[in-house]
Every structure is written in structure tokens, then in C-alpha cells.
Amino acid sequence: MPKVKKINKKKSSNVVPLKRDLVQSENAENLLTIEEQERERTNKFARKLCDEIDQYVTECKMDTDMTYYHFLFHLKQRTIHRVSYNLFKFADKSSTDEVTENMAKYLNENSPELKLDASNNTIQ
């Protein structure tokens, strides 16, 4: 009879330890820096477009508010056709709230006599 070799088998578990030899992924940092770079590039491009729009508005013979209205209308029209409705609503509400908050802070700092109501960002 042949000799049987004893094999020392360890039972393996399918449970993965959560914190043992934790390795941070480099991709997370790279993605974040790429996102930050793209955000900066997009903001730079948007500011350049806004400067061109401002120049156009000053040269236009139409009322300033209506001229800006047309730009906002077309930008929102394009956005709602290119992204989901939920994303559009979020972006629209978020940007409106942020712009209103920024204007409220600006007016509170530079024109305190207007007595801005901080609870709803309206001028009293």
C-alpha cells in the first residue's frame, strides 16, 4: 500500500476581514483631482462665456433684463433636453438658491441699510 501523505488543510472562510491590511486606492484621489481639474476648467470657460455675454448685453439695444432672460431661457432649454428632469430640477434649484444666498451676503455686507431678512433672503 502506498504511503499516504498527510496534508495539513486549513479551513478557509469566505468572510473578508474589514480592516486587515487596509489599502487605500489611488484611483479615488486621482478621480478627485481629475474632477477638481475639470470643475476649474469648466468654471474658467463659463466665466469667459459670461464676459462675452456681458459685452454683448452692453452693446445690445434691447433692455438688459430681457437680454439676460433670453440667455437664461436658452441655457435652461438646452439643459432640460440634455439631462434628466430630476438632475435639471436639482441644478436649477441649487443654482438659484446659491446665487440668492451670495447676493444676500453681498447686500448684508455692503448695504446693511436695506435690512435683509436672513430667514428667507428677501429685502424688507
61/115: higher pLDDT: 61
**Who wins on pLDDT, 87 or 115?**
87
103/77: higher pLDDT: 77
Interval 36-47 mean pLDDT: 94
What is the rounded distance in angstroms from the CA atom of residue 124 to the CA atom of residue 113? 10
- Domain of 55? 30-82
What's the pLDDT band for 122 if we cut at 50, 70, 90?
low
Grade residue 96 by pLDDT with cuts at 50, 70 and 90: very high
Using the 3D structure, point to which of 82, 99, 116 is the last residue of a domain. 82
Whole-number average pLDDT of the chain: 83
Number of domains in the chain: 2
**pLDDT value of residue 6:** 62
72: in domain: yes
Instruction: Check residue 114 and give its pLDDT.
Output: 76
Closest C-alpha among 64, 46, 77 to residue 56: 64
3-state secondary structure 33-57: HHHHHHHHHHHHHHHHHHHHHHHHH
pLDDT at residue number 33: 85
> 111 lies in a domain?
yes
Average pLDDT of the residues in 71-97: 95
Backbone angles phi, psi at 118, to 5 degrees: -70, -20
Are 69 and 95 found together in one domain? no
CA 24 vs CA 17, 21, 60: distances in Å: 15, 10, 55
C-alpha cell at 55: 459685452
Judged against a pLDDT cut of 90, whether residue 82 lies above it is answered with yes
- The pairing of beta strand 116-117 with beta strand 122-123: antiparallel
Do 52 and 75 belong to one domain? yes
Nearest to 54 by CA among 45, 44, 64: 64
